[in-house]
Chain A
């Protein structure tokens, strides 16, 4: 596990030299204060995150129904997932569709919107930030889409379409397998200007302004060149953060789907990996199987994170 975080600047402090155990011990002894800083967080992190994750990975090789002690079954859960569980494969397909559409689109939207409003006057900028960020902060306000796409004639869209005579009977927006997915994608995009967006807005404002003046002298001609050669390279730390946020949220779309189109959705048309995981973890009490799903999802995200990191390294070159 090499570091995910690309370091631009050289680190201050001791450089660990691999090899001798005694040097390692000396370094650890010399870093005592550092471990004190880390300790409050690290202890809780190990107890409440690291240990549970390790246990979940181990559980993925067992049959565990939460009543009897886990039984070791080796790779059986993984074999079952890929060879016997058609709905899981459907969920993988759906998740990849969601992730490959909502992921890049929302990431680019987050950055472009943040970049555009960064040029505005502070008051206008603050107002627009609020406007764009509000949907993702406002709890479960997305249930309003249920009213908008409601399948009876009181639904906003059905109501207007019928009133104006485009259709003569209500459309079952949320139950038609062909329509479910696009609607869920629309709602997910509506909520997608979240943490990543906020971090981009804050990051853009903290950029070194003197670089832009220097850039103008060096022959940066228009805003696109300025973006590519000056802004993006400076934004690198935040770009990676935004990417991780986008990956984790676009691969784990679940709650919105269950609320909007029901669980499970018609013909599992909108079923995702996390919904499948919840199905086995909280309804069927097959914790070993659910853990195996979580492990696979984890690897899918790690792979896409690696790909995105490779792409981001090319920025500004």
Chain B
């Protein structure tokens, strides 16, 4: 019975009634989540006449690519070629994420596995820093970045990102939850160095952790508009350029919906690719615990 509802028969027997309630809960939740998303997609393909229709429709009736076409035209007229904005975004996302994952996981490994003077205080500082509003640290950060001479350069966005605290905290939790200490002790007896334990034992076993970290970092950096550090037009990012295009009132309503869809779809694609990797790991290794 339960297997027909898509539930894997595993562990204990499940009551059918419970399964039905669970399915119902998931269905309602999924509908609540998905209806606004459908509207986002549908609106991007609506002609202007349908965007202002009474009564409004959820699903587009005469889908058109006009909104995307208009967007293309505006992009082509842009003073800075659009590829440049895209390149800036890609550079920020790639290097920001790489450094964040590498430095964050190295530090997370050492504070989670080893105990040394300062390791606990360091970890508490990382967690507490998550609770301090970034708005008021803007000024000191601006002063520092100006002092380093990074104003109006992509470095100003990429390098501070390498020390983002959330990723480190995340990896340290997964090391606590997924790494069996006896595994590390065994490696130590074999004479493995910390670098080897980190790279060959810990990192492969916590793949979901750093894959999640990549998503978080991507999501954060993809939205970056350049902030207070970047003034040159040719160094601005894609979200910045797209948000400029939509500043056109009612006449650009259609384009605005197209932009919302594009900004939404790219992180989702990245997430899907990334998620398929997580599912892979689970299937093959079954977690070496």
Contacts and interface: CB of A to CB of B under 8 A. Distances in A.
A212 B194 CA distance: 33
Interface of B: 6-8, 10-12, 14-15, 18, 22, 25-26, 29-30, 32-34, 36-37, 39-40, 43, 51-56, 58, 103-104, 106-107, 109-111, 113-117, 119-133, 135-141, 144, 159-160, 162-163, 165-166, 168-170, 172-174, 176-178, 181, 184-185, 188, 194, 198, 208-209, 211-212, 215-216, 219, 222-223, 239, 260, 263-265, 267-268, 271-272, 275-276, 278-279, 282-283, 286-287, 289
B131 to A, nearest CB: 4
B140 A198 contact: no
Interface string A16-38: 10000000100110110111011
A317 B212 CA distance: 30
Residues of A contacting B: mostly: helix
Contact of B114 (A34, A42, A129): A34
A153 B53 CA distance: 9
A222 interface: yes
**Chain B binding surface SS class:** helix
A101 interface: no
A257 B281 CA distance: 39
Contact of A156 (B11, B58, B125): B58
Contacts of B168: 41
Given A3-B124, A11-B114, A139-B260, 9 more contacts: A13-B113, A33-B194, A119-B8, A126-B276, A131-B30, A134-B37, A154-B52, A195-B212, A247-B131
A72 interface: no
A237 B169 CA distance: 10
Contact of B215 (A16, A50, A51, A198): A198
Interface residues of A, number: 128
A14 B116 contact: yes
A291 interface: yes
Interface string A96-127: 00000000000001001100110111101110
B144 A40 contact: no
A179 interface: no
A220 interface: yes
A281 interface: yes
20 contacts: A34-B116, A37-B109, A48-B141, A48-B160, A135-B33, A135-B36, A139-B223, A139-B267, A140-B260, A141-B36, A141-B37, A143-B260, A193-B33, A206-B287, A212-B10, A220-B12, A238-B177, A240-B173, A251-B131, A302-B131
